[in-house]
């Protein structure tokens, strides 16, 4: 299959699988059944749905097809918890996931336990093709761990009581590192994932691209710098915006990052708190990132510029998700963690791209329209999940994720 070259040894695979499955449960532990049922808007999903969908993924693509004697937990769940796999049949409408008061949160936990027990029994005898699907399922569930946190943030932000998901440490006192510029490589470089090791199909094949002279900023844009953009009329100046972005700002009355208030506070997973001026800005759309870059006399990096620059960075360091609990961007350097970084590149196929065979081939390729690439990782990305070749993607008006930016400019 096109998602990876070879799965890890079964022992290591099992360890990572059940650690991932446990973390998802731990992330949902602070939630009531009502908390886990609410869908704040159509692009988000209830926490309960994330818990069930990630189990449906393993049940459908690993256990049903590769584990002899496996018994489906509930035949109705395929309709409820399929996300977008048309090859797997009809499904519940995405905007109505929040209407699923049943099954209960406890019933979904029982579903997860059923799937986990079956996975533990089946793993030693699974063929190589199924082990590759387990690897894909681990990475798929890690994506949903981040989505679970950001969707809960959106859910609690919509509640006038503004409940906190968990506790956050007080903001540390950091002086903002002065903005400086690093010259990127010029000429022909290679980007994309190597053949060995796991990667999503959209990261391959590795191929050559040409880079013109450019520079990339040493750090992400901060909340303090974004405040200057607001105070200078950034959201009131149409010449800074793409046409579609300006229409969006006017229509939606956008005046700052999502979750910011005019009193200088923001809503976080730890409740409302004062905006940390030194921390990287987050919850901004591609439209906003592009307008800020234009206001600052710079631009967004291309995907290839960002990836080539980050190729020597360690993707396992930085402020990323290690355990259950509230998370927030913090003042830090590096290329990974805190907030995903918008690029100016559309999410499209690489030369020679081939989607994975079967229903899992719908994972990425069908979304290569109207999306922009983000690189790096965020404070809600499970540590070890990302890499320089990783291609996150969202439509240009999306901002409920921890999305920020790093500037670039021609040189």
Interval 319-346 mean pLDDT = 95
* Tokens representing residue 160 in the block: 């006038």
* Tokens representing residue 133 in the block: 């699907």
Rg (CA), the chain: 21
Q: Could you tell me the CA-to-CA distances from 325 to 23, 164, 322 in Å, in that order? A: 10, 11, 9
pLDDT of residue 303: 98
pLDDT of residue 8: 47
Interval 50-62 mean pLDDT = 98
Q: Does the pLDDT at position 4 exceed 60?
A: no
- Four-residue CA torsion sign, 11, 16, 22, 25: negative
Q: Does the pLDDT at position 104 exceed 80?
A: yes
* 1 vs 395: CA distance, rounded Å: 27
* Tokens representing residue 159 in the block: 């509640």
| 173 within domain boundaries | no
User: Among all chains, which residue has been given the structure tokens 């798929």?
Assistant: 140
Question: Which residues, 6 or more positions from 354, have their beta carbon under 8 angstroms from its beta carbon?
Answer: 2, 201
pLDDT of residue 356: 80
Interval 19-48 mean pLDDT = 97
* 145 vs 284: CA distance, rounded Å: 20
Interval 166-182 mean pLDDT = 88
Q: Does the pLDDT at position 251 exceed 90?
A: yes
pLDDT of residue 1: 37
**Residue at a domain's end among 157, 192, 207:** 157
332 vs 354, more confident: 354
CATH code of 104's domain: 1.20.120
| 303 within domain boundaries | yes
**Share of residues in the chain with pLDDT > 70 (%):** 98
Provide the number of structural domains found in the chain: 2
**Share of residues in the chain with pLDDT > 90 (%):** 91
| 3 within domain boundaries | no
| 4 within domain boundaries | no
Q: Place 173 in a pLDDT band, splitting at 50, 70 and 90.
A: confident
3-state class of 184 per DSSP? coil
Decide: 366 and 294 in contact? Cβ < 8 Å: no
* 140 vs 388: CA distance, rounded Å: 18
Same domain, 153 and 218: no
Interval 142-153 mean pLDDT = 98
For residue 260, which phi and psi values (nearest 5 degrees)? -80, 145
Question: Which residues, 6 or more positions from 107, have their beta carbon under 8 angstroms from its beta carbon?
Answer: none
pLDDT of residue 103: 98
Q: Does the pLDDT at position 223 exceed 60?
A: yes
Decide: 108 and 145 in contact? Cβ < 8 Å: no
Alpha-carbon 388 to chain mean position: 14
Same domain, 192 and 48: no
| 93 within domain boundaries | yes
pLDDT of residue 10: 67
| 162 within domain boundaries | no
Decide: 248 and 239 in contact? Cβ < 8 Å: no
> Strands 408-410 and 214-217: what pairing?
antiparallel
Same domain, 131 and 194: no
Domain that residue 138 falls in: 10-157
Same domain, 148 and 40: yes
* Tokens representing residue 242 in the block: 């793409």
Q: Place 9 in a pLDDT band, splitting at 50, 70 and 90.
A: low
Angle at 144 (CA atoms; ends 109, 83), nearest 5 degrees: 85
Interval 83-109 mean pLDDT = 95
* 322 vs 384: CA distance, rounded Å: 9
Q: Determine which of 193-197, 246-250, 299-303 has the lowest per-residue pLDDT on average.
A: 193-197
Same domain, 126 and 245: no
């Amino acid at each position: 299959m096109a998602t990876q070259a070879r799965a890890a040894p079964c022992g290591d695979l099992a360890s990572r699988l059940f650690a991932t499955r446990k973390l998802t449960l731990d992330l949902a532990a602070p939630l009531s059944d009502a908390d886990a049922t609410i869908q704040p808007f159509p692009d988000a999903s209830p926490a309960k749905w994330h818990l069930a969908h990630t189990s449906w993924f393993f049940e459908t693509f690993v256990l049903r097809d590769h584990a002899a004697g496996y018994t489906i937990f509930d035949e109705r769940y395929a309709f409820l918890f399929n996300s977008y796999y048309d090859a797997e049949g009809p499904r519940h409408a995405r905007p109505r996931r929040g209407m699923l008061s049943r099954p209960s949160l406890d019933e979904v936990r029982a579903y997860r336990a059923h799937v986990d027990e079956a996975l533990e029994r089946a793993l030693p005898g699974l063929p190589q093709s199924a082990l590759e699907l387990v690897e894909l399922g681990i990475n798929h569930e890690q994506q949903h761990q981040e989505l679970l946190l950001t969707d809960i943030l959106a859910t609690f932000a919509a509640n006038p009581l503004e409940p906190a998901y968990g506790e956050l440490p007080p903001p540390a006192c950091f002086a903002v590192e002065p903005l400086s510029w690093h010259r990127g490589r010029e000429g022909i470089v290679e980007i994309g994932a190597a053949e060995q090791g796991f990667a999503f199909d959209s990261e391959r094949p590795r191929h050559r691209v040409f880079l013109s002279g450019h520079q990339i900023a040493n750090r992400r844009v901060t909340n303090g710098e974004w405040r200057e953009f607001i105070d200078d009329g950034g959201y009131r100046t149409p010449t800074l915006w793409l046409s579609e972005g300006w229409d969006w700002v006017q229509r939606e009355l956008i005046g700052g990052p999502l979750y910011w208030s005019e009193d200088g506070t923001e809503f976080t997973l730890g409740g409302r708190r004062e905006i940390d001026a030194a921390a990287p800005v987050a919850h901004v759309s591609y439209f906003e990132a592009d307008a800020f870059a234009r206001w600052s006399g710079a631009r967004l990096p291309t995907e290839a510029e960002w990836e080539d620059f980050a190729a020597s960075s360690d993707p396992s360091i930085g402020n990323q998700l290690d355990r259950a609990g509230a998370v927030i961007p913090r003042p830090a350097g590096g290329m990974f963690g805190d907030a995903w970084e918008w690029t100016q590149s559309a999410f499209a196929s690489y030369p020679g791209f081939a989607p994975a065979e079967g229903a899992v081939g719908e994972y990425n390729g069908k979304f290569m329209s109207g999306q922009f690439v983000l690189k790096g990782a965020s404070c809600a990305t499970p540590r070890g999940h990302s890499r320089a070749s990783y291609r996150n993607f969202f439509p240009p008006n999306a901002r409920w994720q921890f999305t920020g930016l790093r500037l670039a400019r021609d040189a």
